[in-house]
Structure 1
């Protein structure tokens, strides 16, 4: 039997018997999901407050310093979230085919590797202020970034992070991680629902101000 055929059979078995390999009764996985949900909610609320009140700008002594402070906070929360997620997975049921079938292991490596490429290259392309909501501080980019990875994906930071969750779940053979990956994707979609229109509004205001100056 080929590895691909075996993989399909393994997925069918998992689909039919998923409840044996997913356990949300443990507090650590619940806390992991809460941490995942908290992060995008946190940075959206804080960024909106900064835009309206400039409280971080005032606390940090400048818009750029305020953005760096928020960046450090978001980055630290992300590290903590990943740590909590990893520890929670260790206490979840293991699905052996994910560990023994080379197809699943290859997908795990590809997902985690490509996910990190998307995240790191998007951070490089945007810089610190572009990555960490600098536009809410009035630090706007001159032009829209269209190079890699934005030429192949509209939201490489969020999608790359989702792929990293997927790769981790497969690598350690934890079906619960697959469910968590869908939850991560859902919260990122929710974050974009609020972020994209508001960011567009910020840049539209700048263009409007520029037009008035030219008149």
Structure 2
């Protein structure tokens, strides 16, 4: 194990505290928003703090999630600056790939935010703010979680642009934590909409 670490030290400097801090931030963010959102769904904590206005409560969570995301990105960039570069990334082709990933990733993220709106993007479902119809157009006709995959692409593009192997490692972590988050989020969200459909069906039968 010591030999492996010694061989990798030229690529990734694991002694840098900024690397561990960035990794912790990447793991923390989805844990935070899933924990807070589920507490809101079951106990309406944020809505109560917002004077009973669920939409204001959702906006508050949106600001918190967005701010944590910016802070995480700054920590990621700081970690990359402290890491060794690799000459394999210092080529025109690498730059083209990096910019293509950054552009594509940002298109996926921004277009999904546009399609979902603020409450749709920032877990409005957990606040009882449900969308009328499932969004199936671009970019959701490309992948089921464009915001997560787009963000992962942006992390990878940044790593390649900076020429840092450590960035590749952190990008893998980003992908893993997002995939884990989806395993919790997708079934829970589906359950919320299934519950509404059941209530609507029941109400329809009463009207008849």
Whether TM-score is above 0.5 comes out as yes
Shift of 1:18: 4.8
Correspondence list, 1:133-152, <5 A? 133-152=123-142
Give the one of 69, 84, 91 matched to 1:78: 69
Correspondence list, 1:52-71, <5 A? 52-61=42-51, 62-71=53-62
2:86 is aligned to 95
* TM-score normalised according to structure 2 size: 0.93
Shift of 1:91: 0.6
The separation in 2 between residues aligned to 1:92 and 1:30, in whole angstroms, is 12
Shift of 1:19: 4.3
- Secondary structure of 1:23's partner? coil
Correspondence list, 1:125-140, <5 A? 125-140=115-130
Deviates more, 1:19-28 or 1:143-152: 19-28
- Secondary structure of 2:13's partner? coil
Correspondence list, 1:137-176, <5 A? 137-176=127-166
2:3 is aligned to none
- Secondary structure of 2:80's partner? helix
Q: Deviations over 1:158-192 (max 9, x none)?
A: 00000000000000100100010000000000110
RMSD (Å), alpha carbons = 0.9
1:40 is aligned to 30
- Secondary structure of 2:83's partner? coil
1:124 aligns with 2:114: yes
Give the one of 189, 204, 208 matched to 1:214: 204
1:199 aligns with 2:189: yes
Give unpaired runs (5+ residues) of structure 2. Answer: 1-6
1:14 is aligned to none
* TM-score normalised according to structure 1 size: 0.90
2:13 is aligned to 23
Shift of 1:96: 1.9
Shift of 1:97: 2.5
Correspondence list, 1:179-198, <5 A? 179-198=169-188
The separation in 1 between residues aligned to 2:165 and 2:103, in whole angstroms, is 19
List 4+ stretches of structure 1 deviating above 2 A.
none
Give the one of 95, 100, 104 matched to 1:105: 95
